[in-house]
Structure 1
Amino acid sequence: MSNYIFLHGLQIKTKIGVPDFEREHYQNLHIDIDIELKKHSPFDSDDIDETLDYAQIEKIIVTIGDNHSYKLLESLGEEIVSTIKRQFAIKAIELKIAKNKILPSTDFVGVILKR
């Protein structure tokens, strides 16, 4: 048995991009995150201590986006993943970060990190 929580469609603003001009202004990023919990007990206790608080995960991601300026989505993703792994007992994590309208023929470009 596996237990997951997820936040999909999270939008943050951050300064990111390889060219300097991209980092001059905040850009919108789209984030999906799936977290597999270490605890395998069923979700029948109705106890927040048996899971992760979605608001805490959102706050971590938004805070990292607000306080850092990265060139690469990969670096931003590593910071998010490593912070969550340090703060919570998790078994696995999958993070998807996408930027929109960066290339003329695409809606989104991005990265997926699995740990």
Structure 2
Amino acid sequence: MSGGIQRPLSRIRVKDLRLRTFIGFNDEEQRKRQDVVVNLRIDYDALAAARGDVVDEALDYKTITKQIIAHIEDNRFLLLEKLVNDLVELIMAHTAVQYAEVEVDKPHALRFADSVSLTMTAQRD
């Protein structure tokens, strides 16, 4: 394609991935798993995969999601910051990823709020 058409990166979103983990530092949080809700944005260049319909050119979001599930369920976290940062780094370890945004909600973390969330991003130079 020519004629000055630019194609921005493609965006994959994983929405409302609901998992349970140990998160927090008070006694009750250390004893029982809590719900967390994960939302991901992953940008990468999908044109080769799209134009050729070539599976090997596509980013395997299923593998990334399985890695995230395993990491959350198999670990303990004192801070939401640690959990979110780990997930950003896990996603960015895939070299095709140009930008990642991870938001994790901790439902019922505050008495009068639906949830507390933290978002972190990363992008390649």
Q: Same fold (TM over 0.5)?
A: yes
Unaligned runs of 5+ in 2: 1-7
CA RMSD of superposed structures (Å): 1.5
Contact 1:5/1:52 (8 A) holds in 2: no
Q: For residues 47 and 21 of structure 1, do their structure 2 counterparts lie closer, same or farther at Cα, with a shift above 3 Å needed?
A: same
Aligned equivalent of 1:35: 42
Q: Which of the numbers 98, 103, 106 marks the counterpart of 2:105?
A: 98
Unaligned runs of 5+ in 1: none
Name the SS of the counterpart of 2:93 in structure 1.
helix
Report the TM-score when normalising by structure 1.
Answer: 0.89
Aligned equivalent of 2:91: 84
Report the TM-score when normalising by structure 2.
Answer: 0.83
Q: Which of the numbers 70, 73, 81 marks the counterpart of 1:66?
A: 73
Could you tell me the percent identity over the aligned residues? 26
Q: Which has the larger radius of gyration?
A: 2
| Deviation by residue 1:43-101 (Cα, 9 ceiling, x = unmatched) | 23322222222211211111101111001111011111112212342111000000111
Name the SS of the counterpart of 2:51 in structure 1.
coil
Contact 2:23/2:76 (8 A) holds in 1: yes
Which one scores higher on RCO, CA 8 angstroms, separation ≥ 6? 1
